[in-house]
Amino acid sequence: MSGGCVGANKRVKDMNNHAYIDIIHKIPGYSQSTCKRDKKKIKKIMEEYEYDFDYIENVSNDFCEGFNAAKDIIVKMLSDNYWEQAKGWKNE
């Protein structure tokens, strides 16, 4: 079962253009409804960052679900960090 951080994508869209937004959009997501396509994207980024071939070939759907959960957590952390900084900018 694939979950996800509700509202994370909207929160990122509301953020101003920062370098980490580009990074977030380059990290592939994973959904059970598009699992074949998404698994290929995850493997491709692993190849780009030179993971061992054997490790890439053994990527499973469970791995991809964990990968997606980690992505959602990172998006939320970066978004929260941005909005905390934005509050500080308004108060200066």
Q: How many structural domains comprise the chain?
A: 1
From the centroid of its chain, how far is CA 76? 9
60 — pLDDT class (breaks 50, 70, 90): very high
The reply to whether 31 falls in a domain is yes
The reply to whether 2 falls in a domain is no
**pLDDT > 70: what percent of the chain?**
75
Report how far residue 89's alpha carbon sits from residue 54's, in angstroms, rounded to the nearest whole number: 47
1 — pLDDT class (breaks 50, 70, 90): very low
pLDDT digit string, tens, across residues 22-55: 777 888 999 999 999 999 999 999 999 999 999 9
Report how far residue 9's alpha carbon sits from residue 1's, in angstroms, rounded to the nearest whole number: 19
Domain of residue 35, residue span: 8-86
The reply to whether 22 falls in a domain is yes
The reply to whether 27 falls in a domain is yes
The reply to whether 30 falls in a domain is yes
pLDDT for 11 beyond 80 = no
Q: Which long-range CB contacts under 8 A does 86-89 form with residues at least 24 apart?
A: none
User: Model's pTM, two decimal places?
Assistant: 0.70
